[in-house]
């Protein structure tokens, strides 16, 4: 129960990253092909170092709150709620990783992982977060670039 509460708290913290973004006027549309997003959300590759920062920052991705990554063992508070991300680049294609980060329920229907690049169809959204995604398209691409280093 304690782990579940910690994971829920971590998810709430990660939603704080939406403060910095302007609300989207229209719903984000994802070009999903065979349970993946083959096209970059920005048209350019992400930056792995910037993605690592998003991954670790508690008010942005906060991924380490739920996932373990051996190469980041010097960082504190690895979660045990989500699967280990060791070898994730070998398990999924870049296009699959992009969809998993953007809108994980499209692949894992029962996941508690938030959709980091979605701004509609959400429940219990505070008024100041309506129309906003947790991460920007560039931040998603940066996280994907970082995840691709985890093989």
pLDDT tens-digit series, residues 73-114: 999 888 989 999 999 999 999 999 999 999 999 999 999 999
pLDDT tens-digit series, residues 14-73: 444 444 455 556 999 999 999 999 999 999 999 999 999 999 999 899 999 999 999 999
Residue 16, pLDDT score: 46
3-state secondary structure the chain: CHHHHHHHHHHHHHHHHHHHCCCCCCCCCCCCCCCCCCCCCCCCCCCHHHHHHHHHCCCCCCHHHCCCCHHHCCCCCCCCCCCCCCCHHHHCCHHHHHHHHHCHHHCCCCCCCCCCCCCCCCCCCCHHHCCCCCCCHHHHHHHHHHHCCCC
**Residue scoring higher pLDDT (124 or 99):** 99
Residue 66, pLDDT score: 95
Residue 23, pLDDT score: 53
Residue 13, pLDDT score: 43
């Amino acid at each position: 129960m304690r782990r579940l509460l910690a994971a829920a708290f971590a998810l709430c913290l990660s939603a704080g990253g939406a403060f910095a973004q302007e609300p989207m006027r229209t719903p984000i549309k994802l070009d999903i092909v065979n349970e993946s997003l083959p096209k970059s959300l920005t048209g350019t590759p992400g930056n792995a170092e910037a993605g690592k920062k998003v991954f670790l920052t508690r008010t942005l991705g906060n991924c380490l709150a739920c996932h373990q990554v051996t190469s980041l063992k010097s960082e504190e508070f690895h979660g045990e709620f989500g699967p280990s991300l060791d070898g994730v680049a070998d398990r999924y294609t870049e296009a699959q990783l992009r969809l998993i980060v953007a809108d994980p329920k499209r692949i894992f229907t029962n996941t508690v992982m938030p959709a980091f690049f979605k701004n509609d169809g959400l429940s219990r959204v505070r008024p100041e977060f309506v129309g906003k995604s947790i991460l920007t398209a560039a931040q998603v691409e940066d996280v994907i670039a970082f995840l691709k280093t985890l093989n």
